[in-house]
Amino acid sequence: MMAGMKIRHEMTYDASPAEVHAMLADPAFREKVCAAMHATRREVSIDPAPTGMRVVVDQTQPAKGIPSFATKFVGDEIRIVQTEGWNGEDDATLLVEIPGKPGSLRGTVTLTADGAGTVETVEGDIKVSIPLVGGKLEKLIGDMLVAALKTENRVGRGWLAGER
């Protein structure tokens, strides 16, 4: 049985956790992040939940730059569905899936005050259940996720500075 790959990435913002949470709860911010990631199609929904909110970002991106061994599994484009279940303003469960493909990320998102700023930490386990190439695909998904988080952080820092 494959163990999967652990991932942890931190992003910093010059804003309070409440301000970062408000940004993450804004559909316009989520749309702007999708645009910065060159999503060809996207649908963002943010709905209240009993203790916080449920965020779903369903986007499709071109599969350019992906190694040929991975293209066999994903095709010319990749549909990614990210679901966050926020429990209040500072922590969420995270599920990232590629519908119809044997891979996912399950983890958490936390917002922590750091002086006058905030650290957003994304942690999780990436699992791809394909013999022989599963580990390579997990690493590829991990690299893609970190690149997406870096884009989100860049867009978020601009957003909080008033670039909307």
Q: Summarize pLDDT for 63-116 with one digit per residue, the tens.
A: 777 777 777 777 788 889 999 999 999 999 999 998 888 789 999 999 999 999
- pTM, two decimal places: 0.91
Per-residue buried b or exposed e for 133-157, using 16+ beta carbons within 10 Å of the residue's own CB: ebeebbebbbebbeebbeebbebbe
pLDDT of residue 138: 85
pLDDT of residue 47: 95
What is the 8-class DSSP label of residue 74?
A: H
pLDDT of residue 130: 76
pLDDT of residue 3: 63
| 127-155 average pLDDT score | 86
pLDDT of residue 133: 74
Predicted confidence (pLDDT) at residue 162 exceeds the cutoff of 80:
yes
By the 10 Å C-beta count (0-12 exposed, 13-18 middle, 19+ buried), 97 is classed as: middle
pLDDT of residue 61: 87
- Return the residue matching tokens 């952080």: 153
Give the range among 48-52, 119-123, 156-160 with minimum mean pLDDT: 48-52
Contact in structure between 10 and 153 (CB atoms under 8 Å)? no
| 53-59 average pLDDT score | 97
pLDDT of residue 1: 41
What is the CATH T-level fold of the domain 5-160, as seen in this structure? Alpha-D-Glucose-1,6-Bisphosphate; Chain A, domain 4 (3.30.530)
Q: Summarize pLDDT for 24-53 with one digit per residue, the tens.
A: 999 999 999 999 999 999 999 999 988 899
Ranges of each domain in the chain: 5-160
Contact in structure between 120 and 11 (CB atoms under 8 Å)? yes
Give the range among 11-25, 67-81, 143-157 with minimum mean pLDDT: 67-81
pLDDT of residue 114: 96
